[in-house]
Structure 1
Amino acid sequence: MKTKLVLTATLTFVTMSMFAQSNDGRIPAKGFAVFEEKGHFLPYNFSRHAVGDNDIQIEILYAGICHSDLHHVFADWGAEEYPMVPGHEIAGRVVATGKNVTRFKVGDYAGIGCMIGSCRHCDACEHDLEQYCEEGAIMTYHGIDRFNDNEHTQGGYSDTYVVAEDFAIKIPENADITKVAPLLCAGITSYSPIRQAGVKSGDKVGIAGFGGLGHMGVQYAVSLGAEVTVFDITEEKREDAMRMGASRYVNINNPEDLKGLDRTFDFILSTIPAQYDMTMYMKMLKLDGQFGIVGLPAFRNMPSLTVADLIFQGARKVFGSQIGGIKETQEMLDYSVEHNIYPEVEVIKANGEEIDKAYQNVLDGKVKFRYVIDMRTMK
């Protein structure tokens, strides 16, 4: 791949030999990648584009493991390109700033979520919905960065990242940095539809699926004063749901738990990443109730609603939601820190075997509720 020479004499750098530039200005990086579909994680050396005038460079401290990382690694959503460094839940410290940067200084905490660029001028971008950019949002990994020589983006299971300051999230200094990373995807993905639905105190809210996304949705809905019911397929998480403020837990494999729930909810958020009965949840909505969908299963296991479902369960609203724009993501992070809302995480070391094991546990539903890789432990 051809690279463009970028002058960086105007940058402010912390003296860190591990991030020394190459002769062409690119930033050396190392991380963990898969080299084939369903492959194992192995060490991988690569490089980031040079820090431009409007960019910041982040030393990655923590990287979350999102279920969508697994979908990409396993090619559940279509053909993929390898080697692939996943990771779009990134928290770290700024180690370099371009000359035009105003929001960050060296030493600040900063985060990166699911996207690192967009056109910035289409209708979606002008309404702070960059994730729906008409020219295509540039994903943090598995993307093509059209503003940097069309290089393939690589993600956060690595030691450093270079990103435009407008697509970085400012992390308050008092934040619990070990738990921040998953907020950049799991947090905003659940927060945004709850806000879109206008959830308020006294509303009856259902959270379908109690994993990485669902346990964040519960905390946000509870913080807004909603009466929250959690739906899942196991008894193992019942106590956790109640501890987080849910008023009811429904094991959908227990018919007794499902009795009397039709037409009782103002809003149901589905975070389920597998095939399920969507109509069952539609029937649980009150007239004018809303059904928000954020869980995206593998294409081979995709659930569906028919036209008949929509008509015969009419006077309800169904909408999908994809993460959130940069402005809303910053709002979510500030709200989360202010209200002490964080994911429950298990921190693992940065090595291939640990990441492989974490992936298998996510597949088997054995994680409560999010894995976070401590990138500082990478050797």
Structure 2
Amino acid sequence: MTTVAAYAAPAAKAPLERTTIERRAVREFDVLIDIKFAGICHSDIHQAREGWGQAIFPMVPGHEIAGVVSEVGPGVTRFAVGDRVGVGCMVDSCRECDNCKAGLEQYCTGGATMTYNGVGRDGEPTYGGYSEKVVVDENYVVRIPDGLKLDEAAPLLCAGITLYSPLRHWNAGPGKKVAILGMGGLGHMGVKIAHALGAEVTVLSQSLRKQEDGLKLGADHYYATSDPKTFEELRGSFDLIVSTVSAPLDFGMYLSLLKSDGALVNVGAPEEPISLNLFSLIGGRKTLAGSSIGGIRETQEMLDFCAEHGFGAEIELVRADEINEAYERVLASDVRYRFVIDVATI
């Protein structure tokens, strides 16, 4: 066991504070990672404040981890000391179900082991990336290409793959009209990735406040959803809408923006249930869907894709003692576009 410094929420809704945690000794197939940067995801706030249900405390959030390998177990073949690596939202799965065998570990039927606020198959709670080090089985570690800066790569381990996976699955590309709903930590990555895939990209945001940024990052069009004329003008326009919004929406309004056979895919997860008039789906044979992160293989593909196209996340680097302030700023939409913790400050 190794004792490392970390930032943890001691209880639901409590401010995060500096503490220490124990990391397990390196096992045969484990990789010990010196964490350099950890992204702050809105999911961290939902979970630290029990917005998605009962959680495990103390909680060390963080599932956007970028660092450098400092030790490997004797059976490790994929990584060596000094490699630049990342860890995303999961650190294990059953490895035996159909989904795991298909490279869809995020949909493990036995339940994937989450990077934090989870319980490992050894019965021990998992702690995330707001910490100095982490030990992870090599099968759940990905390589960060040299073309990506570590701090800009960290948010790709959640925000990047969360958008890449549905955009790939629903075939965003040349000839497709794609809308990204929400221009935040997730949405700005959706704009970059959809543009790089060759789609015609529209941002749907509450206001035009971030329009200049959206166009600069690759959007072709930008509309304010607070303007009723947007829904009149864009009715029946899109093949695919990816919603990054974590608040309840009037889904009927957004489904009206789809072409026949179009899909509205949710990657944002509101804390409250939603209601839906099914006629908004039936008329036009439309799909209302959800998507989680990607599997390990697809996450590596996403990192390579971003490196090939020369972009990471748009970030604001913060010290560890600024985490609580950063949480409040995320809730106030006062970040462009992802906070990343400099773990050296822990």
Same fold (TM over 0.5): yes
Rounded Cα–Cα distance in structure 2 between residues aligned with 1:221 and 1:102: 34
Q: CA deviation at 1:79?
A: 1.0
1:315 to 2:277 alignment = no
DSSP-derived class of the 1:120 partner:
coil
TM-score by length of 2: 0.98
1:194 to 2:167 alignment = yes
Q: CA deviation at 1:315?
A: 1.3
DSSP-derived class of the 1:205 partner:
strand
Residue 343 (structure 1) aligns with: 313
Report Cα offsets for 1:263-314 as digits up to 9, x if no partner. 111111111111111111111111111221111011x3x3332333322x34
Residue 8 (structure 1) aligns with: none
Report Cα offsets for 1:35-74 as digits up to 9, x if no partner. 1111111111110111101000000000000000000011
1:104 to 2:79 alignment = yes
DSSP-derived class of the 2:135 partner:
strand
CA contact under 8 A between 1:37 and 1:75: conserved in structure 2? yes
Counterpart amino acid of residue 303 in structure 1: I
Residue 52 (structure 1) aligns with: 27
Residue 208 (structure 2) aligns with: 235
1:166-181 correspondence to structure 2 within 5 Å: 166-181=139-154
1:76 to 2:57 alignment = no
User: Of the candidates 156, 161, 167, which is equivalent to residue 183 of structure 1?
Assistant: 156
Q: CA deviation at 1:183?
A: 0.1
Moved over 2 A (4+): 255-259, 302-311
1:244-283 correspondence to structure 2 within 5 Å: 244-283=217-256
1:338-377 correspondence to structure 2 within 5 Å: 338-351=308-321, 354-377=322-345
Counterpart amino acid of residue 309 in structure 1: S
DSSP-derived class of the 2:249 partner:
coil
DSSP-derived class of the 2:22 partner:
strand
CA contact under 8 A between 1:220 and 1:341: conserved in structure 2? no
Rounded Cα–Cα distance in structure 2 between residues aligned with 1:338 and 1:95: 27
Rounded Cα–Cα distance in structure 2 between residues aligned with 1:235 and 1:314: 29
CA contact under 8 A between 1:294 and 1:320: conserved in structure 2? yes
Rounded Cα–Cα distance in structure 2 between residues aligned with 1:304 and 1:116: 34
Superposed CA RMSD: 1.1
DSSP-derived class of the 1:211 partner:
coil
Percent identity between matched residues is: 47
Rounded Cα–Cα distance in structure 1 between residues aligned with 2:171 and 2:111: 28
Counterpart amino acid of residue 369 in structure 1: Y
Rounded Cα–Cα distance in structure 1 between residues aligned with 2:173 and 2:145: 26
Rounded Cα–Cα distance in structure 1 between residues aligned with 2:275 and 2:293: 21
Counterpart amino acid of residue 135 in structure 1: G
Report Cα offsets for 1:98-149 as digits up to 9, x if no partner. 0111111000001000000001010110111001111110000001001xx3
CA contact under 8 A between 2:93 and 2:108: conserved in structure 1? yes
Structure 2 unaligned blocks of 5 or more: none
1:66-145 correspondence to structure 2 within 5 Å: 66-145=41-120
CA contact under 8 A between 1:108 and 1:173: conserved in structure 2? no
Rounded Cα–Cα distance in structure 2 between residues aligned with 1:174 and 1:191: 18
CA contact under 8 A between 2:180 and 2:190: conserved in structure 1? yes
DSSP-derived class of the 1:152 partner:
coil
CA contact under 8 A between 1:233 and 1:253: conserved in structure 2? yes
Rounded Cα–Cα distance in structure 1 between residues aligned with 2:74 and 2:167: 38
TM-score by length of 1: 0.89
CA contact under 8 A between 1:268 and 1:291: conserved in structure 2? yes
1:208 to 2:176 alignment = no
Q: CA deviation at 1:225?
A: 1.5
Q: CA deviation at 1:236?
A: 1.5
Structure 1 unaligned blocks of 5 or more: 1-25
Rounded Cα–Cα distance in structure 1 between residues aligned with 2:240 and 2:79: 38
Counterpart amino acid of residue 177 in structure 1: L
1:159 to 2:132 alignment = yes
